[in-house]
């Protein structure tokens, strides 16, 4: 038996006349939402970013299911302790292995996970190919780091992917988790109004996106490039590509070093 936790089901029914007979054709679309479990000591911090705009719409359309887990609920003592001093004597608290083990074991008993991600400044850098990869997964866990980080045994035995969102240190991994989640959800089929627009984002082809303009065609003497008003699709495409190349060369030349490679 196949069991879906939640899914959206679309049934198309066509009627066509064929030699006097009526044929009915059914087409089923079953969308199984991507499931993202986020483990955090600050669930309140994450509520707002996930309740607006594209992420909210993706949740409403059942493309994604985001569930927060307060790490303190899995603490071992009555004080809900989730951190302790480092054995090395260094300043700063270290997140305890037991509560993290408890919550991840609990989640894994309910479903299989493709990746257990840990947000950390020393993880692999988040970039468009990594966001693309994560968007193809079914179930993921994101563990938000805090304080001096987690006990190394968590990283050695429970984490499968460590992600950084930049070479700087945040106070906690929640904002990193929000950034990762946002970059992934906008790639889910149906999340964006215009299905093609994620493909034209900067970085999708290792190039920065070209400049964009909207009405009015002239404001304050500042004009939209004539070519965009020409109605010539082929010339517009060529212009966009040239602009992308020029922008990338000027602002992020290192992206062109492996341009055209997968
Ligand atoms: N936690 C603290 N700093 C971080 C960063 N730059 N990326 C991901 N997680 C973090």
On whether the CB atoms of residues 142 and 71 are closer than 8 A, the answer is: no
CATH code for position 207: 1.10.1270.20
pLDDT score at 108: 98
Whether residue 145 has its Cβ less than 6 Å from ligand 1: yes
| Residue ending a domain, choose from 137, 159, 185 | 185
Measured in Å, residue 153 CA sits from the centre of ligand 1 at: 19
Segment 237-258 mean pLDDT: 95
Query: Domain for residue 11, yes or no?
Result: no
pLDDT in tens, 212-225: 999 999 999 999 99
Query: Domain for residue 197, yes or no?
Result: no
pLDDT score at 193: 80
Say yes or no to pLDDT of 136 above 50.
yes
Residue whose CA is at the smallest distance from ligand 1 atom 4: 121
Percent above pLDDT 90 for the chain: 79
Specify whether 116 is located in the same domain as 74: yes
pLDDT score at 205: 85
Segment 21-46 mean pLDDT: 84
Measured in Å, residue 126 CA sits from the centre of ligand 1 at: 10
Residues in the chain: 262
Specify whether 111 is located in the same domain as 221: no
Percent above pLDDT 70 for the chain: 87
Query: Domain for residue 130, yes or no?
Result: yes
Give residue 241's domain range. Answer: 202-257
Residue whose CA is at the smallest distance from ligand 1 atom 5: 121
CB neighbour list of residue 148: distance below 8 Å, 6 or more residues apart: 86, 90, 92, 93, 94
When divided into structural domains, the chain yields a total of 2
């Amino acid at each position: 038996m196949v069991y879906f936790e939640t899914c959206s089901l679309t049934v198309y029914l066509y009627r066509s006349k064929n030699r006097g007979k009526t044929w009915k054709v059914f087409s089923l679309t079953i969308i199984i939402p991507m499931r993202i479990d986020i483990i955090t000591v600050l669930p309140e911090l994450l509520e707002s970013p996930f309740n607006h705009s594209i992420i909210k719409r993706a949740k409403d359309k059942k493309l994604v299911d985001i569930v927060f887990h307060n790490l303190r609920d899995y603490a071992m003592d009555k004080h809900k302790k989730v951190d302790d001093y480092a054995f090395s004597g260094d300043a700063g608290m270290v997140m305890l292995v037991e509560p993290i083990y408890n919550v991840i074991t609990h989640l894994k008993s309910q479903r299989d996970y493709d990746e257990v991600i840990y947000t950390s400044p020393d993880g692999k850098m988040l970039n468009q190919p990594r966001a693309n990869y994560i968007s193809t997964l079914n179930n993921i866990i994101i563990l938000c780091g805090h304080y001096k980080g987690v006990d190394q045994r968590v990283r050695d035995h429970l984490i499968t992917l460590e992600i950084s969102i930049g070479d700087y240190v945040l106070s906690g991994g929640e904002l990193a988790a929000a950034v990762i989640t946002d970059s992934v959800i906008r790639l889910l089929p149906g999340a964006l109004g215009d299905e093609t627009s994620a493909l034209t984002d900067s970085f999708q082809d290792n190039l920065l996106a070209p400049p964009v303009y909207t009405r009015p065609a002239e404001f304050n003497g500042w004009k939209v490039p004539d070519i965009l008003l020409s109605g010539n699709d082929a010339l517009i495409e060529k212009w966009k590509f040239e602009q992308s190349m020029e922008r990338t060369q000027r602002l992020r030349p290192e992206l062109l070093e492996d341009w055209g490679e997968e």
